[in-house]
Chains A and B, each alone.
Chain A
Amino acid sequence: MNNNRKIVLPGERISDKKLYLPNTFVEGEETFAAVIGMLDEEGKYIPLESRYKPLQEDTLVGIVTDVRHAGYSVDINLSSPAFISSKDFRVELNLGDIVSCKVGQVYEVGDVDFAEVKKLPPGKVIHYPPAKVPRLIGRKSSMINLIREHAGGDIIVGNNGYVWISETSNIPLALKTINIIIQKAHMSGLTDEIAQFLKNQTGESKISAQTGE
């Protein structure tokens, strides 16, 4: 771990000003961490564990859990399923289908309206910690593009922590890589490390394929 970063626990003070950030709370004139997180030198607070909180424009991956005449219920890692109305979207879905959607509107109580719904081809959906999603995407999608390139198929990362990996890609390799990112999400220089890892992995598989022949 980086030395100039410090892990803060719930209830630890992160600033002596009122900040009103997500996953924090204000008491008096001070701001405190509400979940375990990282505090760097400049006083920037990054939560390490958190629940998904829907925001407008978020890309989500969801699983259809109920099919009704009026529409579909989708599990998007919230406490209650969201609803895709067949009035608004002309998509034909079945139970267990995977969809990617864009969040249109979020209501005060946490209900979600969709702006865009797309059915995804068959693949694997994994649960990923929502707080670590920015690390998996990387700066300007650098990390996820790296994995896509090496796994040879499409991967969609939902802000809600559901990650879809297409059937056509190297799923074991993608899973292995994502696991490393989960373990080391709080460390710096991760993209380089993952690039090296993927290079080694694909190199090894080529060699073993050759010797197998």
Chain B
Amino acid sequence: MGGHSDLKLLVNGKRLDGRTQFDLRPIRVEVGVLHDADGSAFVEWGKNKVICGIYGPRECIPRHGADPYKAVLKCRYMMAPFSSLEEHGRSGPNRRSTELSKVIREVFENLIIVENYPRTQIDIFVDVLQSDGGTRTTCVTAAAAALANAGIPMRDMASAVAVGKADDTLVVDLAKEEDNFGQCDMPVAFSYRKKDILLLQMDGLLTRQEIETLLNEAEKASEKVYVKQADALKKVYDSKEEKFKM
């Protein structure tokens, strides 16, 4: 956002990567990719690659941070130094990654039944291996699948998608160029069953009418994302071949 370029983001209704207005990039979800983590997921969303590991509920460190009534959720979002062309992830946590860690944590604070595990902490680690716009939505999608894979009790599943406006056209699932040179980027996370909005951020300007249209489109898109998560989670129990992981 805020960048300026002569690049045409939409030509004859086709976007830079050939998608139409409300198309999603191809998504691939895989769960149980890490051996030692309690739950894990790998998500490829267009050119984004995100890996997520879940640990816990385990002993809360530091001890004084523990809550006697519920589990404490901790989330760490990090971009690998090699994840993009820009100066990301080179020098530890920065303002941006701290913000993303917070918004991802808050998505799951609304879903996980934290009262079941007093005095413990649950760790969510999301690492961006490759980024191409929309990493926070990819991370929410990966973390939800990994938490389900870990067997951590949740009231609902979460799936996220970014919507926005580029070249005066409303679009779903913004890629890097649309995010950088477009007019608005609005990542949204929905819970599947209740359709609660768990995350909503907006960078840029939209009219009230546009927001309504985009939220509708985002809800439809998030259901498509949910199908991918569900398929990945169920696939673990369908495979006939034996995997020796121990």
- Count B interface residues, CB 8 Å: 37
A209 at interface, CB cutoff 8 A = no
Q: Is the CB of B237 within 8 A of A1?
A: yes
Q: Does B129 have its Cβ within 8 Å of any Cβ on chain A?
A: no
Q: In the complex, what's the smallest C-beta–C-beta distance from A41 to chain B, in angstroms? A: 17
A162 to chain B, nearest CB (A): 14
**Cβ contacts under 8 Å, B151 to chain A:** 35-36, 47-51, 131
B242 pairs with A10, CB closer than 8 A: no
Band of interface residues on A: 20 to 34
Residues of B within 8 A of A183 (CB): 239, 242-243
B152 within 8 A of A: yes
| One of B68, B120, B234, B244 near A179 (C-beta < 8 A) | B244
The answer to whether A36 and B148 touch across the interface, beta carbons within 8 angstroms, is yes
Residues of B within 8 A of A12 (CB): 193
Q: Bound state CA distance, A35 and B192, in angstroms?
A: 15
B215 within 8 A of A: no
Query: CA of A183 to CA of B244 in the docked complex: distance in angstroms?
Result: 9
Q: Are B246 and A126 in contact, with the CB atoms below 8 A?
A: yes
Q: Which residues of A41-59 have CB atoms within 8 Å of chain B's CB atoms?
A: 47-51
- 1/0 contact string of A75-86 vs chain B (CB within 8 Å): 000011000000
Q: Which residues of A contact B193 (CB under 8 A)?
A: 11-12, 32
Q: Which of chain B's residues has its CB closest to A175's CB? A: B246
Residues of chain A with a CB closer than 8 A to B230's CB? 9
Q: Which of A25, A27, A35, A48 has the most CB of B within 10 A?
A: A35
Interface 1/0 per residue, A126-145 and B, CB below 8 Å: 10000100000000000000
Q: Bound state CA distance, A10 and B145, in angstroms?
A: 10
The verdict on B157 contacting chain A, using a C-beta distance below 8 Å, is yes
Q: Given the known A-B contacts A11-B157, A11-B192, A179-B242, are A35 and B148 also in contact in the complex, defined by CB atoms under 8 Å? A: yes
Q: Is the CB of A79 within 8 A of B157?
A: no
Q: Which single member of A1, A11, A23, A80 contacts B191 (CB below 8 Å)?
A: A11
Interchain CB contact under 8 A, A36 and B149: yes
Known: A49-B149, A51-B57, A179-B244. A10 touches B237 (CB 8 A): no
Q: Tell me whether B49 is interfacial, beta carbon within 8 Å.
A: no
Q: Counting CB contacts under 8 A, is B119 at the interface?
A: yes
Are B192 and A180 in contact, CB atoms less than 8 angstroms apart? Answer: no
Q: Residue A180 contacts which of B68, B148, B191, B242 (CB distance < 8 angstroms)?
A: B242
Instruction: Kindly state whether residue B150 has any CB partner on chain A within 8 Å.
Output: yes
B17 at the interface (CB under 8 A from A): no
A interface, over-half SS = loop
User: Are B148 and A10 within 8 A (Cβ)?
Assistant: yes
Tell me if A34 counts as interface (CB < 8 A to partner B).
Answer: yes
Nearest-neighbour CB distance to chain B for A125, whole angstroms, equals: 12
With a cutoff of 8 Å between Cβ atoms, the chain A residues found around residue B148 in the complex are 9-10, 35-36, 49
Q: Which of chain B's residues 201-246 have a Cβ closer than 8 Å to chain A?
A: 230, 233-234, 237-239, 242-246
Asked if A115 is an interface residue, CB under 8 A from chain B, the answer is no
Chain A residues with CB under 8 Å of chain B are 1, 7, 9-12, 23, 25, 27, 32, 34-36, 38, 47-51, 79-80, 109-110, 126, 131, 175-176, 179-180, 183-184, 186
Provide a sorted-by-A list of 22 A–B residue pairs whose CB atoms are within 8 angstroms. A1-B237, A7-B234, A10-B157, A11-B156, A11-B191, A23-B153, A25-B155, A32-B155, A34-B153, A36-B148, A36-B233, A38-B237, A49-B150, A51-B151, A79-B117, A80-B119, A109-B68, A179-B242, A179-B244, A180-B242, A183-B242, A184-B242
Q: Add 6 more A-B contacts to A35-B151, A186-B237 (CB < 8 A).
A: A11-B191, A27-B155, A34-B153, A49-B149, A79-B59, A109-B68
- Please provide the 5 A-B residue pairs with the shortest distance between their CB atoms, ordered closest to farther: A49-B151, A34-B153, A11-B156, A10-B154, A79-B120
